[in-house]
Amino acid sequence: MHRLLKVHGLSRIVGPAVVPQEKRSFVAEYAGSIWYGDVMHGPMFSFGGARRKTYLVSLFDDASRLVAHSAFCLSETALEIEGVLKQALLRRGIPRMIVVDNGSAYRAASLQTICADLDIRLVHCQPYQPTSKGKLERWHRTVRDQFLAELDATHIRDLADLNSRLWAWVEQVYHREPHSSLGKDVSPLARYQQDLPRIRALGSLAPKLDELFLHRVERHVRRDGTVSYDGRVFEVPYELSGQRVVLVVDPHAGTVLRVQNSAGQPLGAATPLDAVANSRRRRSKPPIEPTTAAPVPGPNLIELTHQHHYRQEG
């Protein structure tokens, strides 16, 4: 019935005209202006006798179509995204802007802090707008059509094998072949190299990069001077017992490096708990303050009652 009414023009939606959102094709002025970040769901591989799903985490330059860095991971958390970002910064400098989606991994406080420290504008595109990262989606299609389609999985023993083949293909094939959107005979690498003078290098930030990627987490110090992180127990200075502290941690190694307060001031080191060694360790005791005179005993209710009782009987 609905189709019949629609054919005769009797069934239509009545309401205000919907004005489509304006979308225009654009390209960044120079390399390093805009990077796109996204995760592609990859195939499953047998690693160590178990089938594991892979995720391709990528950062992609808008102006040159160059892959700042890309790697297959076993999950798509903020930790994997930060790892790819760190390698991209070391290889390709600091971008002005990174455009990502609204996934929880891209909204992690740690990622936002890293971008703020490096003066990178982190932009989250509107939900359900895949065309806002169309160039990166085209890169994903290239990976499927050219890399994964030719990959011989019999040579893949672990994630390192898979990524080493990806990086070799990116550097030797993808970056060096002419890209249709860049002009005749212009490859992503050649286009990127044109803008080398304008790319922000790490410079003096390079030695501090590891520090910028450390995480800060708040914890309560137990009465025995220990804190827990990532399922492990660490000892901190005992005088911090009962206090709230900030742990500076290496998220990739799962270790606590040091302790600081909320203002960033250092409070001491953190070491993995060795309960066996603690059984032989001498406990420190608070110092006893010297006294100049022996204390005068006060009245004792038991003694007074005893004297009063036996004095009456005598």
pLDDT in single tens digits along all 314 residues of the chain: 777 877 777 766 555 555 555 555 667 889 999 999 999 999 999 887 889 999 999 999 999 999 999 999 999 999 999 999 999 999 999 999 999 988 889 999 999 999 999 999 999 987 655 545 788 899 999 999 999 999 998 889 999 999 999 999 999 999 999 988 887 889 999 999 999 999 999 988 899 999 999 999 999 999 988 999 888 899 999 899 999 999 999 988 888 899 999 888 999 998 888 777 777 767 666 666 665 666 666 667 777 777 777 776 65
How far apart CA 314 and CA 150 sit, in angstroms, is 112
* Bridging pattern class, strands 34-47 and 97-100: parallel
Helix (H, G, I), strand (E, B) or coil at 102: coil
How far apart CA 85 and CA 70 sit, in angstroms, is 9
The reported pLDDT for the residue numbered 187 is 94
Q: Please, what sign has the CA dihedral across residues 77, 80, 86, 87?
A: negative
Every domain of the chain and the residues it spans: 34-204, 214-278
The reported pLDDT for the residue numbered 129 is 58
Instruction: Look up the CATH number of domain 34-204.
Output: 3.30.420.10
The reported pLDDT for the residue numbered 8 is 77
The reported pLDDT for the residue numbered 131 is 47
Strand order in the sheet with 244-250: 215-220, 244-250, 255-260, 266-269
Angle between helices 109-117 and 78-92 (to 10 degrees): 20
Q: List, as one string, the DSSP characters of 167-184.
A: HHHHHHTGGGS--GGG-T
The reported pLDDT for the residue numbered 56 is 96
Q: Which CATH class is domain 214-278?
A: mainly beta
Give one word for 186, left, alpha or beta, with left for phi > 0 and alpha for psi -120 to 50: beta
DSSP β-bridge partners for residue 220 = 244
Q: Is this structure's pTM higher than 0.75? A: yes
The reported pLDDT for the residue numbered 309 is 75
The answer to whether the beta carbons of residues 259 and 240 sit under 8 Å apart is: yes
The reported pLDDT for the residue numbered 296 is 63
